[in-house]
């Protein structure tokens, strides 16, 4: 084959350059010119763009195509030409979408693919490397894995002895596999099994295989179940060991997190493979870069999200101080990951109490940094901190005062007024948990900080999730207030708190119905309305356990008023398919009909006239045991005033 020359010596943009390169492509090209072109554009986006505009890419692709078609495989010069033209094309595509587009538009892709089957391993390597550079871009062609020929081709790549070819196969998976059907197709074809083997391969293979393995498994329980085979333990161990690798360790930690997130069976397997111990040991050895710390903390958070065995093990390894140190890390991502880890660990109060001295999670070393993170400039850190706080305060009754003393309640109230819905809902959730089974003194302080008007606003929040948490907060606030010490700093609970809450009963009433809440004017999804309705009705039931004033106020909200022909809210709840709504409604009736209450008889008469008693009689064999027991209790109380017959 005759060879000509490409005039790459001229400055990019020179008047004769485009013409020279086109003539060279038509008449042949020398290796030196291709090599010089490649060297000029490596890492230089400006020169890449200049050469692209001058038409260099189609010319180089033309050289590649001619060399592939016209030269015998034994021609050493031709092989060298293939190597250099493929490398030049890869250089145009590397890290530069405009270059990828130019390469694809020039028709380079099929010619590069043809090099994968070339008898010269070096040519194969060059073609695979260039294709991998193309597949770093979202513009790369996608493969339809529902076509058998594409799956067969993919397996041929993954089974290659050339590590760049196997890496190419893995890159194609990461780029092209987008649906659960494709995930299953690849898994059924044995691709998953092959990737597990490649995790133990070279650095290049490990890096690509990690990402593609996660791509096939992510969000697909059926594929995950196939991953739970005899080799999956080895795969998890291999991924865990890779977190120590200086080059792929960062990605390995994130890959491990993705593999086990929300997958209890894999978390059990990881525990059996001592993954918790290995990650904690790696964390101890430090110092580590921020991204590695973040990945390890996220993996630990996922491991501890469901299993008490993992939480117990992590706590017993005494690495909690490293997690708390990460709360003040310079990286916002690390701070957020540390909060997520604490949130997972504190999901089980049993583990916390057994493995730490009582109240360790409420010591200043954890509480103060978490409260400080509520002021963080990163919203993701604030949300993560709120999640950890919600778990920590929910059941540590004797230590909640520490959180309040640190200014935690004040900041929660501030965040409940945020313009960001995620912050509002998580702040109210934390307030809800803070008021769970706590005493009146603590509830009173929280309510004074929050104020009745702010609580009413949260109940009428445009976000259904905020409404739900606000109603649950009210439920906790009024729970037990009538039976505990009625004095607080010389002021009666009724006059100080209860009357203020009663002012919000109309809003509670509106949101406890299954109708779209009029306070917001939004049509809320039925599932959310049901949860909000249950919390609202439980709150009303708790108010109904108070004195006559409270009972009458609740009854007034539950029954239609004179002239109102609509079905009562209480009947709608009693007839609802959601057992939680039915249970909450019957609880309210039980509290309204205590025989020892002075006004019970009058309320029973009103309930009978509204058809409530008849409805309760229809529920004596309710399929929900909790409902059935409460219905019988309510009917028993009502019947003490007679059966209502004349």
Structure tokens at 140: 């790369």
pLDDT band per the 50, 70, 90 thresholds, residue 396: low
Would you say 112 and 140 are in contact if contact means Cβ atoms under 8 Å apart?
A: no
pLDDT at 493: 34
Q: At what angle are helices 121-134 and 97-105 packed, to 10 degrees?
A: 120
Would you say 466 and 532 are in contact if contact means Cβ atoms under 8 Å apart?
A: no
Would you say 556 and 540 are in contact if contact means Cβ atoms under 8 Å apart?
A: no
- Residue, of 223 and 225, whose pLDDT is higher: 223
Residues 6 or more apart whose CB falls under 8 angstroms from that of 493 comprise: 440, 444, 481, 482, 484, 485, 486, 487
pLDDT at 511: 41
d(CA 243, CA 107): 40
d(CA 256, CA 266): 10
Beta-bridged to residue 491, according to DSSP, are: 488
How many other C-beta atoms lie within 10 A of the C-beta of residue 236?
24
- Residue, of 263 and 277, whose pLDDT is higher: 277
Residue 213, pLDDT > 90, answer: no
- What average pLDDT does the chain have? 81
pLDDT at 563: 59
Cα end-to-end distance, the chain, whole Å:
115
Residues 6 or more apart whose CB falls under 8 angstroms from that of 82 comprise: 64, 67, 68, 115, 118, 120, 123, 126, 127
E strands in 435-514: 487-488, 491-492
Residue 186, pLDDT > 90, answer: yes
How many other C-beta atoms lie within 10 A of the C-beta of residue 46?
9
pLDDT at 352: 53
φ and ψ at residue 487, rounded to 5 degrees: -115, 140
What's the average model confidence in pLDDT over 151-177? Answer: 94
d(CA 379, CA 419): 11
d(CA 371, CA 378): 14
pLDDT tens, residue by residue, 13-40: 443 444 555 555 555 556 777 888 888 8
Residue 617, pLDDT > 60, answer: yes
- The string over 130-157, giving b where at least 16 C-beta atoms fall within 10 Å of a residue's C-beta and e elsewhere, is bbbbbbbbebbeebebeeeebbebbbeb
CA–chain centroid gap for 630, Å, is 38
Domains of the chain: 15-136 (1.25.10.10)
Give me the percent of the chain exceeding a pLDDT of 70. Answer: 81
Structure tokens at 210: 């990690």
pLDDT at 552: 87
pLDDT band per the 50, 70, 90 thresholds, residue 68: confident
Residue 136, pLDDT > 90, answer: yes
Residue 72, pLDDT > 70, answer: no
The 3-class secondary structure across 170-235, one letter per residue, is: HHHHHHHCCCHHHHHHHHHCCHHHHHHHHCCCCHHHHHHHHHHHHHHHCCCHHHHHHHCCCCHHHH
pLDDT at 562: 63
Structure tokens at 291: 């991204």
How many other C-beta atoms lie within 10 A of the C-beta of residue 530?
19
φ and ψ at residue 310, rounded to 5 degrees: -70, -40
Residue 214, pLDDT > 90, answer: no
Residue 199, pLDDT > 70, answer: yes
pLDDT tens, residue by residue, 265-307: 889 989 988 999 999 999 998 789 999 999 999 999 999 999 9
How many other C-beta atoms lie within 10 A of the C-beta of residue 10?
14
What's the average model confidence in pLDDT over 382-403? Answer: 82
pLDDT at 30: 65
Structure tokens at 76: 């050493």
Residue 10, pLDDT > 70, answer: no
Residue 634, pLDDT > 90, answer: yes
Closest CA to 64 of 10, 123, 9, 119: 123
Residue 189, pLDDT > 80, answer: yes
Residues 6 or more apart whose CB falls under 8 angstroms from that of 395 comprise: 349, 436, 437
pLDDT at 193: 87
What's the average model confidence in pLDDT over 173-185? Answer: 94
Residues 6 or more apart whose CB falls under 8 angstroms from that of 481 comprise: 440, 443, 493, 497, 498, 542, 546
pLDDT tens, residue by residue, 441-465: 788 888 889 888 888 889 888 998 9
Residue 514, pLDDT > 50, answer: no
**Which helix (H) or strand (E) is 136 found in, with range?**
none
Residue 359, pLDDT > 60, answer: no
The CB-based long-range contact list for 519-522 (8 Å cut-off, 24+ gap) reads: 519/459, 519/460, 520/460, 520/461, 520/462, 520/467, 522/462, 522/464
pLDDT tens, residue by residue, 531-589: 556 777 888 888 888 888 888 888 888 887 665 666 788 888 899 998 988 999 999 99
Structure tokens at 555: 């009854």
**Which helix (H) or strand (E) is 644 found in, with range?**
none
What's the average model confidence in pLDDT over 379-384? Answer: 98
DSSP string, 24-36: HHHH---HHHHHH
Q: At what angle are helices 505-512 and 548-558 packed, to 10 degrees?
A: 40
Question: Please, what's the largest Cα pairwise distance for the chain?
Answer: 117
pLDDT at 367: 85
What's the average model confidence in pLDDT over 216-234? Answer: 76
Residue 484, pLDDT > 60, answer: no
d(CA 447, CA 412): 12
SS3 492: strand
Top mean-pLDDT range of 247-256, 370-379, 560-569, 574-583: 370-379
């Amino acid at each position: 084959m005759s060879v000509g020359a490409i005039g790459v010596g001229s400055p990019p943009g020179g008047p004769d350059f485009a013409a020279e390169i086109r003539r060279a492509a038509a008449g042949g090209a020398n290796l030196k010119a291709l090599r010089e072109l490649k060297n000029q554009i490596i890492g230089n986006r400006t020169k890449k763009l200049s050469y692209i505009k001058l038409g260099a890419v189609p010319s180089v692709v033309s050289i590649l195509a001619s060399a592939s078609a016209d030269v015998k495989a034994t021609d050493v010069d031709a092989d060298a030409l293939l190597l250099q033209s493929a490398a030049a094309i890869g250089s145009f595509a590397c890290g530069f979408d405009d270059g990828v587009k130019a390469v694809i538009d020039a028709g380079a892709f099929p010619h590069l693919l043809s090099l994968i089957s070339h008898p010269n391993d070096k040519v194969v390597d060059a073609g695979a490397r260039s294709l991998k550079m193309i597949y770093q871009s979202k513009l790369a062609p996608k493969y339809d894995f529902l076509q058998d020929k594409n799956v067969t081709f993919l397996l041929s790549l993954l089974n290659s002895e050339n590590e760049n070819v196997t890496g190419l196969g893995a890159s194609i998976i990461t780029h092209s596999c987008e649906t659960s059907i494709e995930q299953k197709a690849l898994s059924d074809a044995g691709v998953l099994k092959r990737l597990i083997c490649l995790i133990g391969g070279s650095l290049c293979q490990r890096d690509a295989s990690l990402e593609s393995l996660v791509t096939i498994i992510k969000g697909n329980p059926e594929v995950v179940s196939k991953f739970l085979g005899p080799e999956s333990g080895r795969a998890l161990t291999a991924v865990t060991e890779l977190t120590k690798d200086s080059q792929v360790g960062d990605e390995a930690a994130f890959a491990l997190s993705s593999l086990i997130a929300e997958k209890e069976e894999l978390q059990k397997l990881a525990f059996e493979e001592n993954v918790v111990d290995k990650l904690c040991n790696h964390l101890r050895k430090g110092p580590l870069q921020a991204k590695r710390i973040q990945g390890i903390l996220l993996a630990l958070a996922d491991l501890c999200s469901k299993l008490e065995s993992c939480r117990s093990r992590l706590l017993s390894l005494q690495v909690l101080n490293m997690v708390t140190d990460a709360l003040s890390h310079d990286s916002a991502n690390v701070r957020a990951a540390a909060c997520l880890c604490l949130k997972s660990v504190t999901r089980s109060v049993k583990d916390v109490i057994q493995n730490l001295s009582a109240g360790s999670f409420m010591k200043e070393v954890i509480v103060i940094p978490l409260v400080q993170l509520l002021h963080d400039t990163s919203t993701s850190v604030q949300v993560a901190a709120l999640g950890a706080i919600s778990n920590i305060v929910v059941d540590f009754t004797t230590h909640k005062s520490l959180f309040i003393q640190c200014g935690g309640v004040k900041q929660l109230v501030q965040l409940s007024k945020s313009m960001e819905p995620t912050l509002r809902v998580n702040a109210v959730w934390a307030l809800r948990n803070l008021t769970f089974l706590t005493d009146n003194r603590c509830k009173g302080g929280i309510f004074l900080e929050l104020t009745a008007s702010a609580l009413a606003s949260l109940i009428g929040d445009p976000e259904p999730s905020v409404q739900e948490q606000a109603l649950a907060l009210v439920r906790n606030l009024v729970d037990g207030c009538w039976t505990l010490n009625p004095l607080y700093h010389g002021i009666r609970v009724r006059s100080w708190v209860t009357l203020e809450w009663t002012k919000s009963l109309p809003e509670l009433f509106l949101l406890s119905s299954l109708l779209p809440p009029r306070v917001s004017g939004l049509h809320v999804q039925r599932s959310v309305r049901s949860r909000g309705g249950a919390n609202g009705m439980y709150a009303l039931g708790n108010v109904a356990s108070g004195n006559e004033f409270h009972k009458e106020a609740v009854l007034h909200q539950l029954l239609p008023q004179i002239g109102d022909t609509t079905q009562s809210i209480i009947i709608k709840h009693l007839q609802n398919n959601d057992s939680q709504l039915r249970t909450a409604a019957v609880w309210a009736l039980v509290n309204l009909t205590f025989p020892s209450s002075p006004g019970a008889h009058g309320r029973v008469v009103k309930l009978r006239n509204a058809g409530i008693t008849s409805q309760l009689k229809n529920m004596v064999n309710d399929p929900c045991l909790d409902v059935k027991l409460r219905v019988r209790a309510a009917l028993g109380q009502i019947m003490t005033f007679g059966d209502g017959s004349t």
